[in-house]
Amino acid sequence: MLRSLSSSPQGSWPARRQRGLTLLELMVTVAIVAILGALATPSFKTMIQANRTRTVASELMGMLNLARSEAARRSQPVSVCRSSDGSSCSSTGTGWDSGWIAFVNEDGISEGAAPARDSNELLLQTRQDLPTGVTVRPNSNFTNGITFLRTGLVWGLGSGTFAVCANRELNQSQAILVIATRSVLATDSDNNGIPEKGDGSNLQNCESP
């Protein structure tokens, strides 16, 4: 007896249906992504601001400490001043946003808190091109600059504060405390995102610490 053979070709499979996202599923996915993005953006912005201010504050404090140690090592006054060209001291404005320089100041004792670099005075270090939005403001003692004597002390035994902020916001700002014998980063003992000045009070604003 002959057996009938299947007319279906061997090895064939039923066709699979292709299924994509429905409009509703797509809308839900987009909404979830938008919500997650909104939640992440503020914290990401805060992290970026904190990193920028911390970096600039650390660099300025490092230069102040370098100037102090070089003054003692060389037995000559060394000054740090704001500078817009990376070579000379700026005498206008109130901020250090354009940068600063450190140099051996042969006239440091007479110039004191208003140093000016002569062309023959040794340039030790420069800092230019701060991150966009970062401001650096000293109190009135150091508006134009600061000079360290060969003893390592600040000229006039002056003390003061530098405020380093991003977009002029106190939150996640940094402060440098300068006293006669040392320069340190201010602490934030109450963890409110605002550093404390030498007297223990919070930094009040970014323009005139």
Rounded CA gap, 101 and 63, in Å?
A: 8
Provide mean pLDDT across the span 155-177: 89
pTM, 2 dp: 0.77
Domains of the chain: 30-185 (3.55.40.10)
Rounded CA gap, 132 and 119, in Å?
A: 30
Q: Quick one: tokens of 206?
A: 């970014």
C-beta atoms surrounding 87 within 10 Å:
12
pLDDT at 10: 52
What does the pLDDT look like over 11-25, one tens digit per residue? Answer: 555 555 555 668 777
Cα–Cα–Cα angle for 48, 51, 56, nearest 5°?
Answer: 125
